[in-house]
Structure 1
Amino acid sequence: MSVLSTTDAKSFGKVGVLFGGRSAERDVSIMSGNGVLEALKSRGIDAHGFDPAERSLAELAAEKFDRVFIALHGRYGEDGSLQGVLEQLGIPYTGSGVMASSVAMDKITTKKIWLQHGLPTPRYAVLEGDTDLGKVAADLGLPLIVKPPHEGSTIGITKVVAAPDMKAAYELAAGFDEEVLAEEFVAGRELTVTVLGRGKTARALPIVEIVAPEGNYDYQNKYFTDDTKYYCPAHIDEATTAAIQRIAVDAFNALGCEGWARIDVLLRSRDNKPFLIEANTSPGMTGHSLVPMAGRAIGLEYADLCVEILRSARLKIGQQKK
């Protein structure tokens, strides 16, 4: 365990850990935030929890935080809206800025940008109320994935194996979003890559492979059971590992991300080709989360990882608060 000196710990000033919030991922965010809060305190940092769902923006301003660690997931915390507030208040914050947070939160826009940069991502279609669902199923092939483009933690996702099931899958996802994303199903290994830093200094941590019961990495298997198996570093040959990490960093930079993010990847079984699935700009930091797992693989303890992320906090617009 590394210990910050008193001077170094005090240099962070008064730190807010923002967690909870109003999104569908509130419960996970509370777990993440409590973990981060205790980790920072264990390193002597003057850290305080703050739940934007229970306290007002006026109270956030009144706290006079010197910087904040964003441990919110989903809408209102990971989508650029809170980042804009923090820019207005002049409070340096962890993670990506307003634009990158907003773009990464939208899986459809994310895919468009990745494709413009020549990065691999599964074929897709955007579904609306008048979309011919049968034609989409025929074009993309079955099985396929239907999901809301602005949610995380596998919320609202369906694997459709028969065309008649498209309607129910669409209606489930449409309960979260006006537009719905249908995506080609890639049969293969489920991987995720944590990226730290920004621009030319961005670096990928060891790859985590996720092996869920019956291949179903749903909300329950992600957060609340011990049946899902994780391998870090993933058992992948050196050349393929390097290629996946390079693609993850390119995906991170293409969206303008910084600080930290987790890039989800599928490695197709038949040819070992990687496909980018989504970017998480405020990933989970729970006991089951994958970013801390990747950190441990290089000897970076949970608390030290939290400190490193906090150290990267800054304003992205205008001058950083002194």
Structure 2
Amino acid sequence: MKVGVIMGGTSSEREVSIMTGQEMMAHLDVTRYEIVPIEINDKRELISKTAGIDVALLALHGQYGEDGTVQGTLDSLGIPYTGSGVLSSSVCMDKDMSKQLLRYAGLHTADWIMVNGVEELMTADVDALGYPVVVKPNAGGSSIGTRIVRTREQLEPAVAEALRWDRSVMIEQWIGGEEITCPVLDGKPLPVVGIKPNSEFFDYISKYVEGEAEEQVIVLPETLHKRVEAAALQCYKLLKCSVYARIDIIVQNGTPYILEVNTLPGLTKNSLLPRSAAAAGMSFGQLLDAIIEYSISERRSESKTNKE
């Protein structure tokens, strides 16, 4: 089977994507797959460079790679790809839209306000959220452009910085508590990973620099564990995820608050999903095998449904 590892892209997470792609290639079973590295910069390259592959193993992150665009292109080319489909990818990438759906379904998520420019801060009732707040690009990832804002005076520069990375910005109520993540593989929860960054939140450096965060599988009290798993699975199903996803959560006073749902979570050597899979008895290579197998099955199922 010829596996094209697609990495790079045009988003702010390009370097993370390349790290993910390199890590994937290092752990794919060369006795099972013919591995084809595919680094892309635009849609034209995606079309030309994927010719002849049997499946696209997506190592992309951020806009163009994680928002349904690449997925739609590969669908039109008839090339199976890993992870969620167009709709789920698009919805989960849009933090505002996904939070609205989560809130409507009764899941807990922090209150928020959306702005499209610093001038809108004149009328936005940010004070109602209470400080501190989290300012982040609506469609960004890896905490790029994200800041914790503790005073009104810090708000405008933080929004201006976030607008460098996206056209709309989320100003979100800060929820203090224990940060965890619950990966889901083929509709089943994997072990929960606890996150304790050295900085004030799980920022870019904490995510990708060795030793900047303590990330380990944890055992939650039984009742809380059931709540966390139930919330993660509800997110996965509600947002129509498939194959795999990672649901990031803050636990405050026994209540899981959903931060976001990642449809193409990082798979670098420091990433959370491989750590969780290892605790479930899966090596990195076995995790990739499962992702490829489940994805091909999912794409076939989607194709059959579309033809009926």
TM-score by length of 2: 0.93
Structure 2 residues not aligned, in runs of 5+: none
Aligned to 1:227: 212
Aligned to 1:238: 222
Question: Is 1:293 matched up with 2:282?
Answer: no
Question: Is 1:262 matched up with 2:238?
Answer: no
Aligned to 2:262: 280
Aligned to 2:126: 137
- Could you tell me whether the CA contact under 8 Å between 2:205 and 2:212 is conserved in 1? no
- Could you tell me whether the CA contact under 8 Å between 1:260 and 1:281 is conserved in 2? yes
Which range is displaced more, 222-231 or 109-118?
222-231
Relative to structure 1, is the Cα distance of residues 184 and 196 closer, same or farther in structure 2, using a 3 angstrom cutoff?
same
The one-letter code sitting in structure 2 at the alignment partner of 1:191 is I
Aligned to 1:7: none
Relative to structure 1, is the Cα distance of residues 175 and 227 closer, same or farther in structure 2, using a 3 angstrom cutoff?
closer
For the residues of structure 2 that align with 1:265 and 1:152, how far apart are their CA atoms?
15
Question: Is 1:67 matched up with 2:55?
Answer: yes
Aligned to 1:3: none
Q: CA deviation at 1:221?
A: 1.6
- Could you tell me whether the CA contact under 8 Å between 1:148 and 1:177 is conserved in 2? yes
- Could you tell me whether the CA contact under 8 Å between 2:184 and 2:246 is conserved in 1? yes
Question: Is 1:188 matched up with 2:177?
Answer: yes
Q: CA deviation at 1:166?
A: 0.7
Aligned to 1:29: 17
Q: CA deviation at 1:317?
A: 4.7
Relative to structure 1, is the Cα distance of residues 61 and 68 closer, same or farther in structure 2, using a 3 angstrom cutoff?
closer
Aligned to 2:101: 113
Q: CA deviation at 1:89?
A: 0.5
Q: CA deviation at 1:46?
A: 1.5
Please give the secondary structure, in 1, of the residue aligned with 2:145: coil
Please give the secondary structure, in 2, of the residue aligned with 1:318: helix
For the residues of structure 2 that align with 1:88 and 1:237, how far apart are their CA atoms?
46
- Could you tell me whether the CA contact under 8 Å between 2:59 and 2:264 is conserved in 1? yes
Relative to structure 1, is the Cα distance of residues 14 and 224 closer, same or farther in structure 2, using a 3 angstrom cutoff?
same
- Could you tell me whether the CA contact under 8 Å between 2:109 and 2:257 is conserved in 1? yes
- Could you tell me whether the CA contact under 8 Å between 2:121 and 2:156 is conserved in 1? no
For the residues of structure 2 that align with 1:170 and 1:215, how far apart are their CA atoms?
18
Please give the secondary structure, in 1, of the residue aligned with 2:268: coil
For the residues of structure 2 that align with 1:221 and 1:133, how far apart are their CA atoms?
33
For the residues of structure 2 that align with 1:135 and 1:68, how far apart are their CA atoms?
43
Question: Is 1:154 matched up with 2:143?
Answer: yes
Please give the secondary structure, in 1, of the residue aligned with 2:237: helix
For this pair of structures, how many residues does the alignment match? 300
Question: Is 1:215 matched up with 2:197?
Answer: no
Aligned to 1:310: 292
Aligned to 2:235: 251
Please give the secondary structure, in 1, of the residue aligned with 2:257: strand
For the residues of structure 2 that align with 1:246 and 1:43, how far apart are their CA atoms?
38
Alignment deviations for residues 60-82 of structure 1 (CA, whole Å, 9 cap, x no partner): 342x1111111111111111000
Relative to structure 1, is the Cα distance of residues 168 and 48 closer, same or farther in structure 2, using a 3 angstrom cutoff?
same
- Could you tell me whether the CA contact under 8 Å between 1:148 and 1:173 is conserved in 2? yes
TM-score by length of 1: 0.89
Aligned-residue Cα RMSD (Å) equals 1.7
Please give the secondary structure, in 2, of the residue aligned with 1:183: strand
For the residues of structure 1 that align with 2:198 and 2:84, how far apart are their CA atoms?
33
Q: CA deviation at 1:52?
A: 1.6
For the residues of structure 2 that align with 1:133 and 1:291, how far apart are their CA atoms?
41
